[in-house]
Amino acid sequence: MSRIGKVPVPLPGNVTASIEGSILSVKGPKGVLTMPMLDDISYGIEADRIVVKPANETKRARSFWGMHRTLVQNLVTGVTDGFTKVLEITGVGYRAAMQGKNLRLQLGYSHDVNITVPEGLEVKTPDQTTVEISGNDRQRVGQLAAEIRRWRKPEPYKGKGIKYRGEYIFRKEGKKK
């Protein structure tokens, strides 16, 4: 039994959900999100909640049950509150700035790194060492944050690089004389 899957997903008052064919769509103040449904999982829309249950007793249905309930929860959270990831840049001369629809990063390379921001996502740079990525789709927000972080991962000796806010970097001591 999935402990996560047993809990129904509550729908706030300003959110509506509908099933059309094999697509579950959730509509709210921050837009519309859709998700393909599996045949092994049954989805039920009640007055103020969405219930996710396995359609049969196969191993596949039980394994996907909790994950699909979480995906439905992410749809509801995305259209009501949205998702935000904050990246912090550490290092001498490392900085970030928005130029139109492009994010310009200076990360110690001989060239600047330009990243085009996809449609539906919003990137802000409140200061030169902070990048805030927000949007209503959790997967797309996390994917863009991972692509930005990949340019200069934090290193363990000085801690230079791009890290998520709240991420702990295991530090090493370095050489001794």
Q: pLDDT tens across 149-159, in order? A: 999 999 999 98
Following DSSP, what letter does each residue of the chain receive, concatenated?
--HHHHSPEE--TT-EEEEETTEEEEEETTEEEEEEPPTTEEEEE-SSEEEEEESSS-HHHHHHHHHHHHHHHHHHHHHHT-EEEEEEEESTT-EEEEETTEEEEE-SSSS-EEEEPPTTEEEE-SSTTEEEEEES-HHHHHHHHHHHHHTSPPPTTT--EEEETTPPPPP------
For residue 92, the one-letter residue type is V
Condensed to tens digits (0 to 9), the pLDDT of residues 87-124 reads 999 999 999 999 999 999 999 999 999 999 999 999 99
Condensed to tens digits (0 to 9), the pLDDT of residues 74-83 reads 999 999 999 9
- Give bridge partners of residue 151 from the DSSP assignment: none
Q: What is the pLDDT of residue 177?
A: 79
Q: Stretch 160-171: mean pLDDT, rounded?
A: 94
Q: What is the pLDDT of residue 107?
A: 94
Those residues whose C-beta lies under 8 Å from the C-beta of residue 128, and which sit 6 or more positions away, are 89, 95, 96, 97
Indicate the pLDDT class of residue 1, thresholds 50, 70 and 90: low
Q: What is the pLDDT of residue 174?
A: 86
Q: Write out the CATH class of domain 83-164.
A: alpha beta
Condensed to tens digits (0 to 9), the pLDDT of residues 127-149 reads 999 999 999 999 999 999 999 99
Condensed to tens digits (0 to 9), the pLDDT of residues 24-72 reads 999 999 999 999 999 999 999 988 999 999 999 899 999 999 999 999 9
Residues of the chain with CATH 3.90.930.12: 3-80, 83-164
For domain 3-80, which architecture applies?
Alpha-Beta Complex (3.90)
Q: What is the pLDDT of residue 175?
A: 86
Q: What is the pLDDT of residue 4?
A: 87
